[in-house]
Structure 1
Amino acid sequence: MSTGIQVDQAAVGATPYRRRLSIVVPLAFLCVAALLVMATLGSLLAPQDPTAQDLLSAAAAPGAGHLLGTDSLGRDILSRVLVGARPALIGPLAVAAGAVILAVLLGLLAGFNGGWIETLIVRIGDLMYALPGLLVLIVVAGLFGGGYWVAVVLMIILVSPAGMRLVRSAVLTQRNLPYIEAAQTLGVNKTRLMLRHILPNVVPTVVAMFLLDFVGGLVALSTLSFLGVGSPPGSADWGLMLAENRPLLDQNPWAAIAPALLLIIAAFSVTILGDWLHARLEKGRSARD
């Protein structure tokens, strides 16, 4: 009887969580889908030219002509946040893709081969991991005159060591399992073992790492733009818009709130999807094992 009561309590306790999860995950999917539409079709959806200035309508509150009002130069805020979705999301996507590719390659090499290869990769990774990433980004971006894509490349290099550690740890777990030893006995070469046998088993880690790197890239690149060393002045970038429109909080707060809110929604939505996908992939891998 005690077992039955425990099961019932667990089921009751899990019900609110499952309900919350069933609501939060679809909302995250909808938010990500909306952001992708904005990034793809933002220039077509924008009701006005995002660069057109109208000083007579500067810092106007939301109204019929400007649903989110205007900035200090009279530019339409709604049009600028729609067009700004592409540069705001493309950079973090490039950071995540580049960092994951580099981390997977180095993690597989280090974890599977061991020896001096592992020592060299791990020591270089430790050195890069010890650097204050944001400070290095600010300094280098400032030296290059605020180059956005310079910051993206540098972020890939700085972010990949953390991912390399995760992949290496997952590979070390798989390396000594019976199926790998059996494949080695049959004469399967190392490249095939790493790509066809080990890599599929670390996919959950890689997917979670990709989405988390995207969020990290989104926050870091927006911070650089906010500080004035990211996107060039005047461009429709969410971080830059937040910095430019802070003085307008008492006139048209939506000029700063809109880009800030979109950054928060993007970060939270992708993080939630990352957790959900990782759990689903891990569950599916455990079921196959």
Structure 2
Amino acid sequence: MAEMTSTSPVKAAVPADATLARAGHKRPPALILLAGGVAAVILVLVLAGAWITPFDPAHQDLMNTAAGPGNGHLLGTDTLGRDVLSLLIAGAHTAVVGPSIVAVGAVLFGATLGILAGWSGGLLDTAMSRLADLMYALPGLLVIVVVVGVLDGGYWLAVAVLMLLSLPTAFRMTRSVSAAQARLPYVEAARTLGLPTRRILFRHILPNILPTILATFLLDFVGALIGLSGLSFLGLGAPAGTPDWGSLLQDGQSMLTVNPWVSLAPGLLIVLTATSVTLLGDWMYDRYSAEGAQR
């Protein structure tokens, strides 16, 4: 997201030319509608996938394995004779819920710590920033592979480790905009009036940095979606037998010449989901930042 590192605007602090530049930096409405439509379809699959699959995802038809589209199977079957379309629909839940938990946890804890560090400054800010820098420097995927592989912890351990490794991003971005807000005149005025720190932080500063928090949440979701799908591709993510887009990618490698949809379809869904969420996040960030500038 091109502008996610910008501080959340306050009318008195945003130059007119910056506001005009942002107002002119708009995405085509059709593109945003398309991205919203894709996201809505994925959400329906996550919430209602168990009721709309054409076949039982676990049903194996050993007389019709590795078959191309046909015989009622729109995307064919895999090596166990399972319907690929049903696996894709059922796999949306695993593919999306895990990244959502990662993003929520990372933003909830990371943003809270970032606001406190940006507000307080001093030794606390320095210590927390150095720790975040250290964690940020770690090779995330390698750490997850080692931890999950050694502990044989599976999908939910991977979710927990990925959430922990996502904290520095949320912390650094929130800390940056919070520190900038803490130096603005309206905060100094609130301090002078003797308003409690909690009220200043959560009633005044937090609303002004919500666009950055939203952008961070969606960025973390996309990163977690790709990361967890990659782990499932390596056999370290979703449990064996659980429908998952990353697992389907791996299963379809040996079937590219027989039924390429086993790999192409989940790969396409991962790309479409990540791209749509990124576009929507960028659009929402621009919109809410512009609204904040006009207040």
Q: Secondary structure at the match of 1:54?
A: coil
Q: Report what 1:61 is aligned to.
A: 68
Pairing partner for 1:108 from 99, 105, 115: 115
Q: Give 1 or 2: higher helix fraction.
A: 1
Give the C-alpha shift of residue 56 in structure 1: 0.9
Q: Report what 1:286 is aligned to.
A: 293
1:251 aligns with 2:258: yes
Pairing partner for 2:184 from 163, 177, 188: 177
Pairing partner for 1:190 from 197, 201, 218: 197
Give the C-alpha shift of residue 234 in structure 1: 1.8
Give the C-alpha shift of residue 64 in structure 1: 3.3
Unpaired stretches in structure 1, ≥5 consecutive residues = 1-13
Pairing partner for 2:157 from 150, 153, 158: 150
RMSD value over aligned CA atoms?
1.2
Q: Percent identity?
A: 49
How many residue pairs are counted as aligned between the two chains? 272
Q: Which contiguous aligned blocks of 4+ residues in structure 1 show a shift greater than 2 angstroms?
A: none
1:120 aligns with 2:127: yes
Give the C-alpha shift of residue 248 in structure 1: 0.5
The question of whether the paired residues in 2 share the 8 Å contact of 1:107 and 1:167 is answered with: yes
Q: Secondary structure at the match of 1:56?
A: coil
The residue identity in structure 2 corresponding to 1:262 is L
The question of whether the paired residues in 2 share the 8 Å contact of 1:69 and 1:252 is answered with: yes
For residues 9-20 of structure 1, the aligned pairs below 5 Å read none
Give the C-alpha shift of residue 190 in structure 1: 1.3
Encode CA deviations 1:127-177: one digit per residue, 9 max, x unaligned: 111111010011111122151111111111111111211111101111111
Unpaired stretches in structure 2, ≥5 consecutive residues = 1-23
Q: Report what 1:232 is aligned to.
A: 239
Q: Report what 1:137 is aligned to.
A: 144
CA distance in 1, matches of 2:47, 2:288: 28
The question of whether the paired residues in 2 share the 8 Å contact of 1:52 and 1:75 is answered with: yes
Give the C-alpha shift of residue 270 in structure 1: 0.2
Higher relative CO (Cα under 8 Å, sequence separation at least 6) belongs to: 2
- TM normalised by structure 1 equals 0.92
Pairing partner for 1:28 from 26, 35, 53: 35
The residue identity in structure 2 corresponding to 1:150 is L
CA distance in 2, matches of 1:277, 1:144: 39
The question of whether the paired residues in 2 share the 8 Å contact of 1:146 and 1:232 is answered with: no
Q: Secondary structure at the match of 1:48?
A: coil
1:51 aligns with 2:58: yes
CA distance in 1, matches of 2:244, 2:174: 33
Encode CA deviations 1:43-75: one digit per residue, 9 max, x unaligned: 111011101111110001101321110000100
The residue identity in structure 2 corresponding to 1:24 is L
